[in-house]
Amino acid sequence: MTEQIVIATGAFFGILSVVFGAFGAHALKKRLSKDQLHSFEVGVKYQMYHGIVLLVLGFGLNHISLAMYWCFTIGILLFSFSIYGLVLSDAKGNKLKFLGPITPIGGMLLVIGWALLFINFI
């Protein structure tokens, strides 16, 4: 896994986090319930946190495995983006319920990514 790919992926997720965070705070604030807005913000926060993890790993550790990279990357996509889809579809009155089971799969991939990181350094 090249450092450049890891850094670019982390930076891309960071960019999207800021864009989605601003979108949620400004464009969606009046359209979402407090619970929906909170869920949307959780997706943004987890996306940013894990984007930063990818940046740190890409810049300084040189020990990132392919499995760790994919767990974080796919975990972000499944976890955060399923939340965005659930919240936005619910706000439009047509909740995409099939996304519900995808969120915990993404969360589990994030946990596995952290576990791989832990195992790599003990």
Give the model's confidence band at 20: pLDDT under 50 very low, under 70 low, under 90 confident, else very high.
Answer: very high
Domain boundaries, the chain: 3-120
pLDDT for position 122: 85
When computed from its CA atoms, the radius of gyration of the chain, rounded to whole angstroms, is: 15
Distance CA(52)–CA(13), nearest Å, equals 8
How far, CA to CA in Å, does 52 sit from each of 8, 69, 97, 98, 101? 11, 12, 30, 29, 25
> For 100-115, what is each residue's pLDDT tens digit?
999 999 999 999 999 9
Whole-prediction pTM value?
0.91
